[in-house]
Chain A
């Protein structure tokens, strides 16, 4: 009974913490509240049980805490997705180790079938979360190739591994000798780990937010299964809450790309669904971008174009005359490390008396809400930030849309043409603004592979090249 009250108390504090996630300030208190709840839970476990091998425990705990803190205090916001994926993996490791010991270590005491089944499931989910997260983290950190890796007969391999997992779980369940259970569980670990790797290698690029949200959910599920195995209600409560959170974020991300979960996980890259950009158009698109790249750092020699003014002077003119500006940042901004410059430019424009807003697409960045954090790191005033549905009606009355490193999320093909991979995806209506300035590295299609007609609109000024340099130059010339 006492245990039940403790679990209930800790769960309530946790709920209180999560319910404060409405504003950044509240969320900070909420985060500390949740940390307090878990600290209490740890303290209670330690107080109630006599601990064997205290030194080992202290060393292990201290090592985890020290590395955790060191990494958490050092990472930059662009590395957050990789860091979070790595932490999901560590959660997976803990879940599968606890499940494994429960399975193997206590066979003498004859585990109830419920505990055994959930320990086996916990082992599987925990292991797959671990290996999948390591792949995701490696991709996000740029340590392994970020593009989807598709094996020959990818689905067959995945199906075979799934069947392998099920058979091994059955075998472990039926075996009654500890040594056999241990051997089968160890094999299960290898197979489930392979499953996680095969599952996540074929997801890449702009689909990463879906993968990372999904791994969030499975990490929660693994904790909950682990809780059933060791009969700890608190683990179930926390695990279920996290699973709910991960599911919501997965759903939000899929909806923002107008894609189904199976579509993302089957590795159907949007580009494969309908090849809009043939190789010829791509090749043509690359040539002008090269020219601009080479010319952009030389302001002394303006590009002489026969029919029009040089795009940079046009851009300066457009920025000067605009009364209202909406900035659309994409992940390209972070790749060019141009967050600071973008935010400083926004502040400069605001100080000139213009109305300045940031419009953020839900999938901008590499995890849900990533763009907000990237801009926060550059000390943006978050009062300037607007979500897709709030900002879209405003584009038509806006003089200037400034796009920094974004392509698919402002591609009007999503609403104007049928049958493209991004048709039906909600986009930011930047093309409705009076003038559009695009500060992208090149004018090639984004992740979806769909050509962006916005680039060829007469009201669009293309400033191709490194966004940080382009924006810094705009900033200087505005004075």
Chain B
């Protein structure tokens, strides 16, 4: 019971903090924001890694490998693409208008 309350509290606190922080993000950055939070949700990679610890049996290793590959794809791909996207934003010009 105590466990449940603790985890609910952690969830609620993180949700509230996230809500406050993210409602201030300007619309211009919504796509990079989603792509970054998408990468963050791949934190399940920790769960996938933990499947390999202790006495991992074949089933755990097989499914763990699939989970790990999916999570690593999401995690690294998400951060890389966000970085690339944000690198495209530029303000006032180095580029000379009209050739």
Contact = CB atoms under 8 A, between A and B. Distances in A.
A56 interface: yes
By secondary structure, the B interface counts as helix
Interface string B22-35: 11111111111111
Contacts, number: 373
A94 B81 contact: no
Contact of B91 (A93, A230, A381): A381
Interface stretch (A142-150, A240-248, A314-322): A240-248
A21 B90 contact: no
A77 B85 contact: yes
Contacts of A220: 37, 41
A63 interface: yes
A42 B55 contact: no
By secondary structure, the A interface counts as helix
A42 B49 contact: yes
Given A31-B86, A52-B61, A382-B89, A232 B46 contact: yes
Nearest to A385: B28
A382 B91 contact: yes
Given A68-B80, A347-B98, A90 B37 contact: no
A372 B41 contact: no
A350 B98 CA distance: 10
Contacts of B55: 52
Interface in B39-96: 39-57, 59-61, 63-93, 95
A71 B80 CA distance: 10
B27 A376 contact: no
Interface residues of A, number: 116
A72 B81 contact: yes
Interface string B1-43: 0011001001111111111011111111111111111111111
Most buried by B among A75, A94, A368, A387: A94
Interface stretch (A81-89, A262-270, A289-297, A443-451): A81-89
A254 to B, nearest CB: 14
Given A114-B4, A381-B93, A68 B75 contact: yes
B30 A368 contact: yes
A45 interface: yes
B36 A90 contact: no
A14 B78 CA distance: 15
Complex A-B, nearest 5 residue pairs according to Cβ-Cβ distance, in ascending order: A64-B72, A369-B30, A68-B77, A244-B18, A347-B97
